Structure 1
Amino acid sequence: MAAAWWAALYLLCHGLALALLPGHAQALSFSFLIGAPLLAALACLWRMRLSQARVGWLALAVGMLLWAGGMALNMYQEIGRGNPDATPGASMLLYVLYGVPLTFAMAHPRHEPWYLILIDGALALLLGYLFFVHTFSFATVSDAPAQGINSLRVMFDIENLFIAVFALVRYLASEDGSRRVFFRALSLFAWLYLGMAAYINHFATEASYGGVTDVLIDLPFLLLAVLALRGGAEAEDTTPRRLALAVRAGSPLILPAALLVVSGLMVDKHPHLAVVGFALATLGSGLRGVVLQVRAMERQDQLDVLSRVDALTGVANRRQFDHVLQAEWGRARRSGQGMALLMVDIDHFKQFNDRFGHPLGDVCLREVATTLAGCATRGSDVVARYGGEEFAVVVPATTREGALALAETMRQAVERVRLASPGAVNLIGVTVSIGVAHVAQIASSDPSGLLAATDAALYEAKRHGRNRVVEADVGVSSVAVATPR
């Protein structure tokens, strides 16, 4: 509220200066017209420090500084050089270039990597260069003829409408609170600026600086300063998810679209440069699309890995175990080769957790999983966390002796594991019980019998004192106990 009162006081002072000091009206008015965008730039820089939408506020501040520079050149031309009838082309260029950082801010999605920002920055620089060439097609550094000014006014109208429309779209489709606040400020500024510029350029064309219409020029910049300085939480909004995703996906097309529009305006006077603009806009958009496609594929690969890996232990999860078991069972059935399944259970794990706490329990699970995986040296062997403190090992294309040897190797390796606890004087040991089931010839399509036999063998291992390997053949009710050596 305080910022709004200061903005109102600024307008009042500007109007009083024009009314009370008519002999110095032009110089005073220029000071106010340069001061308004400078205040807006400072307010944007202040808001940038507090907001998550830092890139947007910084780009907006740069745009305000460019506009203030254009007005400063107008002041130098009319007062410093005493030539009020000339419109410097350099100032017209800065008025046009002020929209480039605003376009960049609208095109820039959140959380983009540096190489995508680099592509957007290159397109923004190209857009600025095309604006530069197009502006000086109708003007010189020190002057712009009437016909040239009319052509530049059309370009101003297109640019201002372009920014206003896309800023509104970005605001309506923003889910993130900080970016929603930014695009609301940009949208309100852009639409007010569009109306002010259209009035000044098309209806007050004969008015010179130092008149009452100058107060209107202050309005959009002071509004932006007020919106930037306004406090309050940057709350989330219930924007339809599909709309938000569509706009987020389409926002990178804003810069190429602007390049295409400006290139289209340059076809008559600079056809070759227009073709370059068309080509680079297409190439930049395509390159960005390729990069985004690669990133999407990488994320999909990561999701695929996460869907198959247990987050705590780093070995395969239950879902991946079920898939591998069924796949290897079918492969063994077709090839006639045998396969084995190991079920591994950490001995007295509940008591371990109760005594030493869950953090050390998690360490124990990770150490056991790493140890088991280190023993399964064949690429086809799969160690998985079956559930809780229980692990399963799928061993395809193996013999009975090979499966038993692997199980005993795993048991001994885990027995050598030592865990350090802050509350314990000595290192803590851990042991496992292992059930093994091997099948030489597979007739059925369902591996549930193998699972049941392995589970029964594990139960016998625990019943016979734990820290041992017990074997059970699929379809055989009796089990043989293998005592530790």
Structure 2
Amino acid sequence: MVWLLSVLYLLCHGLALVLLPAHAQTLSFSFLIGAPVLAAAACLRRSVGSEAVVGWVALAVGMLLWAGGMAMNMYQEVGLGNADATPGISMLLYVLYGVPLTFAMAHPRHAPWFLSVIDGAMALLLGYLFFVYTFSFVTMTDASDAGVDSLRLMFDIENLFIAGFALLRYLASDDASRRGFFRALALFAWVYMAVAAYINHFGSDASYGGHADLLIDVPFLLLAAAAWRRMPLAPRQVSRRLALGVRVGSPLILAISLLVMSSLLVRAHPMLAVAGFAIATLGSGLRSVLMQVRSLEQQDRLDVLARVDGLTGVANRRQFDQVLQAEWGRARRSGQGMALLMVDIDHFKVFNDRYGHPLGDACLRAVAAALAGSATRATDAVARYGGEEFAVVLPAATREGVLALAENMRIAVEQLRLSSPVSVGQIGVTISIGVAWVDKVTTAAPSALVAATDAALYEAKRQGRNRVVEGQVAAVRAEDMDR
């Protein structure tokens, strides 16, 4: 239906030219203004709820700027009756329509606000350079033939620039929403480039109101239809390296545009050209620095997630394994002893079944906090070993200090009281602790220490739970030495 309405729009435009030749120019201008306005409306509608909302809104702004340029042409030729003059303001709006499109291609997905501010500032400067360059050849009401020729060349470069980068962004998009946007933009840009090249170089002598005007409608109607109708996208594999490379490099589009425009202004406006070069360089550099800082912050957060248990906030099993191996190696080199504690929450399955998983999670968090609060040395490491089990690595510790700390942990947990909405009063919880200590490390792997701690924990539970039991590290076989 959308495509049928687009064809109907063209037919109505053509019939108006044939049936009402006396008013052909006025009617044709109305259709030429209406087509980009319809495209803008379709883009704004598509932006609602879309992840590519910035792109669709920018595209709508570009369409309205182009419609404004055509409206100025209409005012000049119909309102003032001067068909021979080319208003400079109209030419400027035709050029400026490409600035929002360039911004849309350069703006990355999910960009933070400060990057949007930098991109927006560079886009505004680009628009100002377009303004200065345009009015180097035209006036508000007229343009010389040489000026029009220079602007035609700039139009060709701008259109090719937009079409080429839009196609590249489409081919490299691995996100369905962004891919749909760049497909619509690439379709419009390539058709518009072809139509503009024909009109500017072969049909520029003809005034508005002829059948060539129907061609001008086509790219805008295609965009309106593509934006209004959510056409399905066939699955397509995109090289991850290509997608990342284009996504990271896309902000350079604005910087490149600024550099090109600044180079065109070197002779006529050298100071402005230098400012353009400087802002393009500084803006791109500042953007790169901020992106790198943001990337490092995200890396830090991921590093924390990789080392910390999400529920309890203590170290996870992976971090425990790394700490245990590192402290074991350090103890072996220094000749100091070390200890390991294995902690198990007593009857935790029964607790979970009776009071529910939310209170079970609260219990795990409370026990983890009590254990971490008791292990006051910076070198002590408390970790969630798995399920309701915890482990504590104690480097450079004495046997008496280890046993005293284990008992303090048991008492700290025994004193905990958890509130339950389904029971009267508060709920207590206890733990069993297995302890193993070595005064001298002689092997490369701490497997004997872990085995002794596991055996001590099993013995603590066998003896009735809520207690601390010390295990003995088994003798190490000769073939295990220095493994």
Which TM-score band (shorter chain)?
over 0.9
Which deviates the most, 96-105 or 425-434? 425-434
- What pairs up with 1:348-359 in 2 under 5 angstroms? 348-359=347-358
- What pairs up with 1:350-389 in 2 under 5 angstroms? 350-389=349-388
Rounded Cα–Cα distance in structure 2 between residues aligned with 1:243 and 1:476: 57
Rounded Cα–Cα distance in structure 1 between residues aligned with 2:329 and 2:458: 26
Deviations 1:235-263 (CA, angstroms, capped at 9, x unpaired):
76432322212211111111111112222
- Please give the secondary structure, in 1, of the residue aligned with 2:48: helix
Letter in 1 for 2:404: A
Letter in 2 for 1:100: V
Letter in 2 for 1:474: V
Rounded Cα–Cα distance in structure 2 between residues aligned with 1:90 and 1:235: 42
Q: Which residue of 1 aligns with 2:448?
A: 449
Deviations 1:156-199 (CA, angstroms, capped at 9, x unpaired):
00000000011111111111111111111111100110001000
Letter in 2 for 1:120: D
Matched, 1:140 2:139: yes
What's the CA shift for 1:318? 1.4
- Please give the secondary structure, in 2, of the residue aligned with 1:110: coil
Matched, 1:43 2:42: yes
Contact 1:48 1:54 in 2 (8 A): yes
Deviations 1:393-423 (CA, angstroms, capped at 9, x unpaired):
1112222221112111111111122223333
Q: Which residue of 1 aligns with 2:481?
A: none
Q: Which residue of 1 aligns with 2:309?
A: 310
Matched, 1:216 2:209: no
Q: Which residue of 2 aligns with 1:81?
A: 80
Q: Which residue of 2 aligns with 1:256?
A: 255
Matched, 1:338 2:332: no
Contact 1:342 1:435 in 2 (8 A): yes
What's the CA shift for 1:361? 2.3
Question: Given the superposition, is the C-alpha separation of residues 110 and 234 from structure 1 closer, same or farther in structure 2, using an over 3 Å criterion?
Answer: farther
Aligned length: 476
Rounded Cα–Cα distance in structure 2 between residues aligned with 1:138 and 1:59: 27
Q: Which residue of 2 aligns with 1:428?
A: 427
- What pairs up with 1:267-286 in 2 under 5 angstroms? 267-286=266-285
- What pairs up with 1:158-237 in 2 under 5 angstroms? 158-232=157-231, 237=236
Letter in 2 for 1:290: V
- Please give the secondary structure, in 1, of the residue aligned with 2:393: strand
Which deviates the most, 96-105 or 47-56? 47-56
Question: Given the superposition, is the C-alpha separation of residues 72 and 223 from structure 1 closer, same or farther in structure 2, using an over 3 Å criterion?
Answer: same
- Please give the secondary structure, in 2, of the residue aligned with 1:170: helix
Contact 1:176 1:236 in 2 (8 A): no
Rounded Cα–Cα distance in structure 2 between residues aligned with 1:62 and 1:176: 23
What's the CA shift for 1:26? 1.3
Rounded Cα–Cα distance in structure 1 between residues aligned with 2:207 and 2:85: 11
Contact 1:176 1:237 in 2 (8 A): no
Rounded Cα–Cα distance in structure 2 between residues aligned with 1:34 and 1:53: 26
Which deviates the most, 199-208 or 363-372? 363-372
Tell me the C-alpha RMSD between the 2 structures: 1.7
Contact 1:63 1:98 in 2 (8 A): yes
Rounded Cα–Cα distance in structure 2 between residues aligned with 1:235 and 1:301: 37
What's the CA shift for 1:351? 2.1
Deviations 1:62-102 (CA, angstroms, capped at 9, x unpaired):
00110011111111111222221111111101000000000
Rounded Cα–Cα distance in structure 1 between residues aligned with 2:214 and 2:474: 94
Rounded Cα–Cα distance in structure 2 between residues aligned with 1:359 and 1:408: 28
Matched, 1:108 2:72: no
- Structure 1 segments unaligned to the other structure (5+ residues): 478-485
Which deviates the most, 33-42 or 94-103? 33-42
Rounded Cα–Cα distance in structure 2 between residues aligned with 1:446 and 1:14: 84
Rounded Cα–Cα distance in structure 2 between residues aligned with 1:164 and 1:142: 30
Contact 1:60 1:101 in 2 (8 A): yes
Matched, 1:6 2:2: no
Matched, 1:403 2:402: yes
Letter in 1 for 2:111: E
What's the CA shift for 1:474? 3.2
Letter in 1 for 2:247: R
What's the CA shift for 1:441? 2.7
Q: Which residue of 2 aligns with 1:151?
A: 150
Question: Given the superposition, is the C-alpha separation of residues 289 and 213 from structure 1 closer, same or farther in structure 2, using an over 3 Å criterion?
Answer: same
TM-score under structure 1 length normalisation: 0.94
